[in-house]
């Protein structure tokens, strides 16, 4: 709690804030050491405050709130979809590793492997061989499609 040392101190402070000085108050503030100090300090502080507001106006609080909300939402989405991105990258890595393994293992003989899927002319159960070949072809096609999808989605999400 500040102690009032002059009865005109509050009036001097109000005049410094408003900028409206009466003649008597002006004369008193020039003669009274307490009021002259109050006028000097208040004038300096009020001037600094006005300059700070004029130099850099405060941004709209609504925009700050919206930006903070959007940033928090992006962070939540980032956290929630992290496992999905990890699985996509793992699937892409598995697809590449499997394709590399298959090419290294069957690369030169891939054509012969596909020829081996053809049913033999004198098979005991030719329908069964055809079904096995079809299942193998469908599985291989599904593998190629899912691998391509995993690769595309992994690269598109990053
Ligand atoms: Zn005074």
Q: What percent of the chain has pLDDT over 70?
A: 79
Distance 18 CA to ligand 1 centre (A): 18
Q: Give pLDDT, residue 7.
A: 92
Domain ranges for the chain, please list them.
9-55, 82-157
The residues placing their C-beta within 5 Å of ligand 1, an ion, are: 6, 8, 32, 34-35
State phi, psi for 14 to the nearest 5 degrees.
-65, -40
CA distance 72 to 120: 64
Find the 153 Cα to ligand 1 centroid distance in Å: 78
- 53-99 confidence digits (pLDDT tens): 777 777 889 999 999 999 999 999 999 999 988 988 888 888 888 87
CA of 29 to the centre of ligand 1 (A): 6
DSSP 21-80: --HHHHHHHHH-HHHHHHHHHHHHHHHHHHHHHHHSPPPPHHHHHHHHHHHHHHHHHHHH
What is this structure's pTM?
0.39
User: What distance in angstroms lies between residue 86's CA and the mean position of ligand 1's atoms?
Assistant: 74
């Amino acid at each position: 709690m500040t102690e009032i040392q002059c009865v005109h101190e509050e009036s001097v402070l109000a005049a410094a804030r408003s900028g409206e000085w009466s003649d008597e108050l002006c004369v008193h503030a020039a003669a009274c050491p307490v009021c002259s100090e109050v006028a000097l300090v208040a004038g300096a502080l009020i001037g600094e405050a006005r300059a700070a507001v004029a130099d850099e106006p405060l941004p709209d609080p609504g925009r700050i709130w919206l930006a903070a909300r959007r940033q928090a939402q992006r962070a939540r989405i980032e956290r929630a979809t992290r496992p999905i991105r990890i699985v996509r990258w793992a699937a892409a890595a598995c697809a590449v590793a499997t394709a590399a393994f298959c090419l290294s293992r069957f690369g030169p003989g891939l054509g012969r492997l596909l020829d081996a899927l053809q049913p033999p002319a004198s098979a005991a159960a030719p329908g069964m061989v055809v079904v096995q070949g079809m299942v193998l072809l469908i599985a291989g096609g599904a593998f190629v499609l899912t691998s391509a999808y995993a690769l595309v989605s992994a690269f598109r999400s990053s």
